[in-house]
Structure 1
């Protein structure tokens, strides 16, 4: 079968290779991949790839071999999946606890855009707690996670301010109900909750705009610049603010994937997909994703759909 593997080259991060079809473990189903969605974090891993790196965490497709232990969906089921790796291929072995069945109303392209960004958004908002009537600041908001967080938080009653680099990248967020600004300095606090994903100078600046006793959830460092906090500046800012580190990855994922599918089916969540193209264009798409030339998610189609 065909699989995309890392090259270590910045301009062409992946290339096709002919490899054996994966052999599932007893608790895994074999999926014929119809669509997959790369994440910007994966583009960073491809810069200096480990020898064992097999990219691909967000897929949608068809079960062609059910799990030997009897768990999960049967042969022929359409599914969305979140494997640990290996999804940029014609076939992928996925633990059944990381699969959810798709209704006919959700196509594979939209489904593939859900897993990592959608699960992150759900778990971020659970960490933040009830948002009804609360003021929320979201940095780095124009990617996949940002669009999901915005739609879900506004739907839950939050007064949300989203920070994006440019007006074009903020258009859809404004349509979803966010107050859009283009730098943290322009955000009008104070905020009860900050969801911070850029790092660098943005985190301490966002921290200074919080209410006393507020919560800052730090879930990324997209700027790739380390954060420096000055103790004496903190003394002059809001008191008793909590900074909480966040990482989404903790299996099982089935319940959250099912929740995301249900939200899309009910039209309460709308994946923002900036590009859908054939997987022959994966290398170029990865470069554009890394350089922030794609708003929301990018989805690659393998041609595996019936």
Structure 2
């Protein structure tokens, strides 16, 4: 029995369309999940056009729903458990998901909130961990108004770091001080003192500027490249006291980190901000708002009946 899914189609307006695909068959260490919510990431939009996800394949990485078939090997959650996962092909009504790629959703946390965490939350958590986050660090987060950025600001502040949030406009910086940012800057204007950690999702010239601000022994984690612009380093910019620029990608099982993030969110220690929420039949609308940077936080897609829902308006709309 086929299920509906959002698949890659270069001829569609957002390179994505709703289609029917075969019902997934779970492997030995996988559960079958009835997906009710998905989260749209900037990387999904790139995947739909870059060829990384083949034409006709199901798009997406963030899914949340209910287990309807337990894993055959006896591992993982039981039938009826609400879960959130980071998995390929997330934008489908049903998905076969590795037990290591998911976490149970704690009581008190809505699925619409939990589904915002996999890509953005895990990227924030792991990039900060890789950079050597600590209470004595000065941490610069670029693109701080986006999904990864807002989680990175909160997690770095929670660790006791001095957090500098860089955004594209005053409006985009609203709420970041409440999330724990000690400084909120437009671009990098006024930043003179060196920083120890940079979580960069912008790329281009701003990545070069952030590198120049990095203290000896510091680390830049490149988690995205939303600018679409090249980063041109002047001669000798990379010659001098040791510091590092590291490419970042999420690899391996994420279940343990998802459990940490969902527990923090359930406790109210990690705020999930949803800037757009509506039916997956309004994918084009969500994609346009995300690409136009009109969404603070995350865009959440509701799967299922096809009924249209009123999106949560952006403060800038």
1:185-208 residue CA offsets vs partner (Å, 9 max, x unmatched) = 432322122222211111221122
1:153-197 residue CA offsets vs partner (Å, 9 max, x unmatched) = 011111111111111111121221211111124323221222222
Q: Give SS of 1:37's match.
A: strand
TM-score (norm 1): 0.92
Task: Describe the shift of the 1:10–1:206 C-alpha distance in structure 2 as closer, same or farther (beyond 3 A).
Answer: farther
How many residue pairs get aligned? The number is 300
Q: Cα RMSD between the aligned structures?
A: 1.7
1:126: Cα distance to partner?
A: 0.8
Q: Which position in structure 1 is the counterpart of 2:199?
A: 195
The partner residue of 2:37 within 13, 35, 38 is 35
Q: Which position in structure 2 is the counterpart of 1:21?
A: 23
CA contact (8 A) 2:6 2:17 kept: yes
Q: Give SS of 2:40's match.
A: coil
1:233: Cα distance to partner?
A: 4.3
1:127-173 residue CA offsets vs partner (Å, 9 max, x unmatched) = 12242132111111111110000001011111111111111111121
Matches within 5 A, 1:58-73: 58-73=62-77
1:45: Cα distance to partner?
A: 1.6
Q: Give the Cα separation in 1 of the matches to 2:109 and 2:231.
A: 40
CA contact (8 A) 1:10 1:47 kept: no
1:104: Cα distance to partner?
A: 2.5
Q: Which position in structure 2 is the counterpart of 1:112?
A: 115
Task: Describe the shift of the 1:98–1:166 C-alpha distance in structure 2 as closer, same or farther (beyond 3 A).
Answer: same
Q: Give SS of 2:155's match.
A: helix
Matches within 5 A, 1:42-81: 42-49=44-51, 50-51=54-55, 53-81=57-85
Instruction: Tell which deviates more after alignment, 10-19 or 20-29.
Output: 10-19
Q: Give the Cα separation in 1 of the matches to 2:173 and 2:116.
A: 19
Task: Describe the shift of the 1:9–1:162 C-alpha distance in structure 2 as closer, same or farther (beyond 3 A).
Answer: farther
CA contact (8 A) 1:215 1:241 kept: no
Q: Work out whether 1:265 is the aligned partner of 2:266.
A: yes
